Structure 1
């Protein structure tokens, strides 16, 4: 089965890049033929970490109107020429301008190429995050979707409007949506991971890693738990 995994959320700083990286790591671990779409070309942190281990397409998706349509056409033209069976798209802030406005272009083309469409909606603290998730056109037509709280980038006890207001969460679940979390990573280790931007998480957890053994094990445990709670349910279903 071929998968197009879209890390969405529309807001900045909600963990789209982290989820994209976790999805890439899972694809590499699973032996999939990976392609990465770096849609956040201003920051480009997903591209920076994986450009030496996977095919990376940099396409600015922070566009609207015909510019967005042209960007999507360029993107899928590249994808059609690849043999990748696992594509991870890291969306920028304001990605609704391209992803949601042109869902009726993206979805049929992706499906004709043989991809299942899997969307991770990264949950923000504001109530608008819940509203936007339930209104997102690409979420509505995805084969599978999951709302994910990124505990790595936020205070663990912070209340998220999404999870404290049933009328939003219930609508999401009733429409077939799943919910999940990326667990918190120890701050000391998280700082080390950010320091080595050009290395995959797996390489930082491996025998050739510059990190201490205990730090490697913390990354391994975090990766496994992150996959179990957010990535695997999206790719394989509950």
Structure 2
């Protein structure tokens, strides 16, 4: 099975890059031919961590109109030539201008390339996050979609509209959507991970890792819980 995993959300700071990294790590762990589309060219944190590990295409997806259409044409031309079976797309804020506006082009192209579209919608606390998710064209056309809470960003604040206003969650589930979450990584260990931007999470858990053994084990445990809570259900539809 070939997958196009899109980390969406249309808000900054909700965990799109974290989910993208988790998906990349799972693809590598599973022995897939992984490629990354770094759509957030201003920050580029996913590219920075994996550009020496897997193929990375850097395409500015914070565009609209003809510029967005040209970016999408460039992107999928490269993907067709690359023939990867596991593509992870990290989107910037405001990416609806390109991705949702041209979803009716993206979906059939992905289908012809044999890529199943799996969208992770990283949700914020605002009601607008839930509304945008249910209105997102690429979510509507995706093979599978999941609303994901990033607990690392939430400071354990459970006051998300997905949970406190049941109609949002019910509408999402009724449309075929899944729900999941990424658990918090201990702040001390998270800070250590950020010190090594050019290394994958997996390399930071290996025998050559510069981290302490206990830190490696905490990262391994967090990866497994994160995959089980978000990435695996999204890919397998469970």
Q: TM-score, normalised by structure 1?
A: 0.99
Gaps of 5+ in 2: none
> In 2, distance between residues paired with 1:206 and 1:127?
41
Superposition deviation, residue 157 in structure 1:
2.9
Match of 1:174 in 2: 174
Superposition deviation, residue 83 in structure 1:
2.2
Gaps of 5+ in 1: none
> In 2, distance between residues paired with 1:12 and 1:163?
21
The residue matched to 2:36 in structure 1 has which SS? strand
Match of 2:157 in 1: 157
Q: 1:1-238 residue pairs with structure 2 within 5 A?
A: 1-238=1-238
> In 1, distance between residues paired with 2:11 and 2:130?
11
- Aligned pair count reads 238
> In 1, distance between residues paired with 2:75 and 2:194?
28
The residue matched to 2:96 in structure 1 has which SS? helix
> In 1, distance between residues paired with 2:83 and 2:71?
20
> In 2, distance between residues paired with 1:113 and 1:163?
36
Superposition deviation, residue 73 in structure 1:
0.2
> In 2, distance between residues paired with 1:217 and 1:237?
28
The residue matched to 2:53 in structure 1 has which SS? coil
Q: Which whole-Å deviations, capped at 9, do the CAs of 1:26-83 have from their partners, x for residues lacking one?
A: 0000000000000000000000000001000000000000100000000000000012
**C-alpha RMSD of matched pairs (Å):** 0.6
Runs of 4+ in 1 over 3 A off after TM superposition: none
Q: Which whole-Å deviations, capped at 9, do the CAs of 1:63-120 have from their partners, x for residues lacking one?
A: 0001000000000000000121000000000010011000011000010000000000
